[in-house]
Structure 1
Amino acid sequence: MIVKETSSLGKLIIKGVPKEKAKCMIVENHYSHKWCDGGFGKYNFGIFRAEEPDKCLGVAVYGYMKNPKAKIFTHSNPQAWMCELNRMWIDDALGKNAESVLIAASLKLLRKADPNIVAVQSFADGRLGCGTIYKASNFRYYGFHYTRFLRNKRTGEMTHEQILTTTTSATGYLRSNIAYLIGDLEVLRVKTYRYIYPFCKHFRFVSSEKPYPPYEKGIDPVEWKRDTTKIKQNIVALLDKVAA
């Protein structure tokens, strides 16, 4: 537990919270409304007002990278691994700068929880901005890549491109690709900004650090050319599997 005295937010407590509590808060309140059971929530920290120590007003969720085995850094510790700040949400009732307080305190708690964590990675969604909060929290910037999202024209739901390209989740692949084939999905491109907070000087990322990006946010419609014949073949094969 960390107790933080602030001039504008009052006395705050940052402490660990159960995974199920963090999951419920993220699914209900985070703009994505999504949680990945495979990698999210190995460590979860909540923020509370000292006068209401049982009323959680936000959570920072730390878990595994999308590809935990990816060789994207070097370190002298053979057990070293890089954690990821998967999700964060804070109630507006807490006020300005609460995000910075939660990040700073949860990073300290994370280091104590697992000494083999040598860095924390997080990504800023270009739909919301370029990651100003990470700059304020002294994360280092390592560039951006483009991510495709698909918006359902009927429901407005946003889907990451990954669900349309992997058959790991058969039902997800079927639903999303049928929607794609019948023209229900609008393809959009977003910048995804990578930020890393190293815990020690021995950590080395595979690419060089870059100057912080200028402020920008937005989303652009794009074309996505795909092999529709292969998609149809996959759908038929998966239907037989699901309906068997």
Structure 2
Amino acid sequence: MILIIKSELQIKPVEKELACEFIRTYHYSKIMPRLCRYFLGIYAKKRLLGVVELGWGTQPLQTIHKLFPQHSLKTTDYLEIGKMCFLPEMNETHYFGSMALSLLRKWLQSNTECLFLYTLADGIEGKCGYVYQASNFYYGGFFKTSVYRDKQTFEKIHPRSARILLEENAKWDGVQKRNWLTHEFCNYKGIEKINGRMFRYIYPLNPQAKNILAAYPIYQHRAYPKEKELIWEKRIAYRKYVRIPQPTFNKDAHNYNSQVVLHNQYKGS
């Protein structure tokens, strides 16, 4: 068994190119967030063991307002873990993730004025956030999320990566715009729509943040979600879904995810 000594670990900024290469090698999702603020590397004796990308989702201000509707917080009041991944042998320790999050919180407290560290556990991938639970994050409930999957290649298509498909769907239907792929168009293209859950976690980084958090009973340390809260549904008709087992995805298929295609072309050049 690998033994990691916490005092030997160090977290520090890492070059974007190195971080992205690490993430695309070891993270289950190869698509990088667009709003990235920090790339941090976790090292032990100069060996890179893990990478964390911090930034925001597609609607940062809307996110913080939804989290704390009674307060006038700003985008700069929080950072979101967009990507976090480690070397495979670090995952096998079952405690390295907690060490990494402890280092991350201390780095944020020393180097930023953020009030909160926010993150999501991806239930569609079978994750309910055990690493955040073990690190004493507050749980803030879940919301439904959707992805698409190519029936032939099992490629996972995130709605953010479906712009070209949405444009094609709109032309196919004779309308100006589509925000979601229609069931008929998906059948035509051989694509499935799958629903799952995303689980919210948040950590207060200073006393002010703790006081704000105390005003919202929804955030708690107890009643953490477990595997029984993981639910998946597949669309079978317009607004009709059936429960399915956990779906599988082919991480190496990238017919629709152009960001991965460009990355692979760059590596091969």
Q: Is 1:104 aligned to 2:102, yes or no?
A: yes
CA contact (8 A) 2:78 2:116 kept: yes
Runs of 4+ in 1 over 6 A off after TM superposition: 76-79
Instruction: Give the deviation of 1:98 after TM superposition.
Output: 1.2
- State the partner residue of 1:46: 41
Q: How many residues align?
A: 209
Q: Of 141, 152, 161, which residue of structure 2 is paired with 1:143?
A: 141
Offset of 1:8 from its aligned partner?
A: 2.8
Amino acid at match of 1:156: F
The CA deviation at 1:134 is 0.5
Mapped contact 1:76–1:202 kept (Cα < 8 A): no
Q: Is 2:9 the counterpart of 1:12?
A: yes
Please point out which of 51, 57, 60 is paired with 1:59. Answer: 51
What corresponds to 2:219 in structure 1?
A: 209
Per-residue CA distance 1:67-120 (angstroms, 9 max, x = gap):
1121232668878521101111101223411111111101211222211x1001
**8 Å Cα contact 1:142/1:195 also seen in 2:** yes
| Between structures 1 and 2, the one with greater helix share | 2
CA distance in 1, matches of 2:73, 2:225: 31
- C-alpha displacement of 1:148: 0.8
Distance 1:146 1:78, change over 3 A: closer
Residue 82 of structure 1, aligned match among 71, 78, 84 = 78
Deviations 1:166-201 (A, max 9, x none): xxx4x3634685972514111111111000011134
Cα–Cα, structure 1 residues 209 and 77, in superposed 2: closer, same or farther, change >3 Å?
Answer: closer
Q: Is the 8 A contact 2:60 2:75 kept in 1?
A: no
* CA distance in structure 2 between the partners assigned to 1:93 and 1:175 by the alignment: 43
Cα displacement string for residues 24-48 of structure 1 (whole angstroms, at most 9, x for unaligned residues): 2112221011102x213x1122122
Structure 1: runs of 5+ lacking an equivalent: 1-6, 227-244
5+ residue gaps, structure 2, are 170-180, 240-269
Deviates more, 1:20-29 or 1:77-86: 77-86
Quickly say closer, same or farther: Cα 1:112–1:148, change in 2 above 3 A. Answer: same
1:172–1:99 CA distance, 2 compared to 1 (3 A): farther
**Residues in 2 aligned to 1:123 and 1:224: alpha-carbon distance in whole angstroms:** 29
Q: Secondary structure at the match of 2:61?
A: coil
Letter in 2 for 1:157: E
Output one character per residue of 1:214-238: Cα deviation in whole Å (capped at 9) or x when no partner.
3344533234638xxxxxxxxxxxx
SS in 1 for 2:120: strand
Is the 1:60–1:102 contact (alpha carbons within 8 Å) kept by the matching residues of 2?
A: no
In structure 1, what residue type is equivalent to 2:137?
Answer: F
Q: Tell me the distance in 1 between the aligned counterparts of 2:78 and 2:3.
A: 33
RMSD after superposition: 2.8
> Cα distance 1:202–1:85, how it changes in 2: closer, same or farther (>3 A)?
same
Partner of 1:221: 234
Contact 2:121 2:127 in 1 (8 A): yes
TM-score, length basis structure 1 = 0.74
Whether the aligned pair in 2 keeps the contact of 1:142 and 1:193 (CA below 8 Å) is yes
> Does the CA-based 8 Å contact 2:141-2:218 persist in structure 1?
no
Identity of aligned residues (%): 26
Structure 2 contact 147–158 (Cα < 8 Å) conserved: yes
SS in 2 for 1:212: coil
Distance 1:219 1:134 in 2: 22
CA distance in 1, matches of 2:99, 2:186: 42
